[in-house]
């Protein structure tokens, strides 16, 4: 069975999309308002430039609008400060009886340490691990960034292996784990494909895998990741390291122009006769504009 869905995180006290348009978005993280690039916001803003400026504490100003900030380099822009913001601050996301705490920071490449639309996945991960009733549940999270999904899995009781190619990002994820009052996530600094190839040789098995790949990326030793070239090997490796009892697989895709049907076709090509739900994540702004923020497919046994 296949379900085509449009999903948005439940109301979130520490985050709100205020407005979006003219290739930008105005968001509130905790008590701070930020303006950041948004290449999919082709339409005009609903609020005036003056209203945006009155709210904004900082703005990431890019040298070009052509590349998504997810893939931008340190040379593409920088932060313009309007009000004083601490070097770091924390926000939280509640998972019923547990809480994910995340440190945020204005990085030199426009990220701040979190992708808010992914909160819907955090809820899904937490609930499905608990509902699986699998003893000693083992989860692998690759291209895992600052760890909110890994923390959600850990809070649900899973043994978590978190893989990312950037040492500083792994350190950030470790801070988030400590802030969230949990421990013992297994941190791996490695190229995703190399790590999964080794896990296959070692006959390691996982009960769930999360993939969050960029369109382009580099491993710690300069390994090149290109989504179109490498995604099929990634998914084939997944079929060989998932346990017979596995609970779910999640694939997120952010490349502009990629339909959610592409993600679904990729997954169902390797996992036959299983239930999938696929579609778009979006966030509705305070000004009532729906902003799409990537596609997903979730395979559940």
In the structure, how many helices (H) and strands (E) does the chain have? Answer: 7, 17
- pLDDT tops 50 at residue 74: no
- pLDDT tops 50 at residue 5: yes
Fold classification of 90-300 (topology level):
Rossmann fold (3.40.50)
- Cβ neighbour number for residue 35 with a 10 Å cutoff: 24
Check residue 273 and give its pLDDT: 66
Check residue 62 and give its pLDDT: 80
- Predicted confidence (pLDDT) per residue in 190-236, tens digit: 999 999 999 999 999 999 999 999 888 899 888 888 898 999 999 99
Give the CATH architecture of domain 12-87. Answer: Sandwich (2.60)
Residue 207 per-residue DSSP state: S
Angle between helix axes 260-270 and 227-241 (nearest 10 degrees) is 40
- Predicted confidence (pLDDT) per residue in 114-140, tens digit: 999 999 999 999 999 999 999 999 999
Check residue 115 and give its pLDDT: 96
In the chain, which residues fall in CATH 3.40.50.150?
A: 90-300
The span from the CA of 27 to the CA of 19, in Å, is 7
Check residue 66 and give its pLDDT: 45
Could you tell me which residues are beta bridge partners of residue 24? 21, 37
Strands annotated E in the chain? 2-7, 15-21, 24-29, 32-37, 58-62, 77-81, 89-95, 98-104, 138-142, 159-164, 186-189, 208-211, 216-218, 224-226, 248-253, 275-284, 290-300
Query: Of 45-54, 66-75, 78-87, 141-150, which gets the smallest average pLDDT?
Result: 66-75
Determine what percent of the chain is predicted with pLDDT higher than 70: 94
Taking residues 257-280, what's their average pLDDT? 88
In the chain, which residues fall in CATH 2.60.40.1180?
A: 12-87
């Amino acid at each position: 069975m296949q379900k085509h869905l449009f999903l948005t995180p439940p109301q979130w006290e520490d985050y709100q999309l205020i407005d979006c348009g003219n290739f930008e978005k105005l968001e509130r993280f905790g008590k701070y308002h930020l303006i950041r690039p948004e290449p999919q916001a082709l339409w005009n803003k609903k609020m005036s430039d003056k209203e945006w400026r009155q709210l904004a504490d900082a703005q990431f100003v890019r040298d070009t609008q052509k590349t998504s900030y997810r893939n931008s380099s340190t040379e593409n822009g920088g932060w313009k400060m309007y009000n004083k913001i601490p070097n770091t601050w924390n926000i939280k996301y509640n998972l019923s009886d547990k809480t994910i705490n995340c440190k945020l920071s204005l990085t030199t490449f426009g990220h701040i340490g979190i992708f808010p639309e992914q909160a819907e996945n955090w809820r899904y991960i937490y609930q499905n691990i608990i509902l699986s009733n699998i003893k000693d549940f083992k989860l692998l999270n690759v291209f895992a960034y600052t760890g909110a999904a890994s923390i959600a899995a850990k809070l649900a009781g899973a043994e978590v292996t978190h893989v990312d190619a950037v040492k500083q990002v792994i350190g950030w994820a470790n801070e988030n784990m400590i802030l969230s009052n949990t421990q013992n996530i297994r941190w791996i600094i490695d190229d995703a494909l190399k790590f999964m190839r080794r896990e296959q040789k070692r006959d390691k098995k996982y009960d769930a895998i999360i993939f969050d790949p960029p369109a382009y990326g580099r491993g710690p030793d300069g390994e090149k990741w290109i989504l179109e070239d490498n995604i099929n090997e990634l998914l084939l490796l997944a079929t060989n390291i998932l346990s017979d009892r596995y609970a779910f697989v999640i694939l997120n895709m952010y490349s502009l122009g990629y339909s959610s049907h592409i993600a679904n076709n990729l997954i169902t090509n390797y996992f036959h006769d299983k239930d999938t739900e696929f579609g778009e994540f979006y966030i509705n702004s305070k000004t009532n504009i729906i902003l799409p923020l990537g596609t997903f497919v979730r395979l559940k046994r």
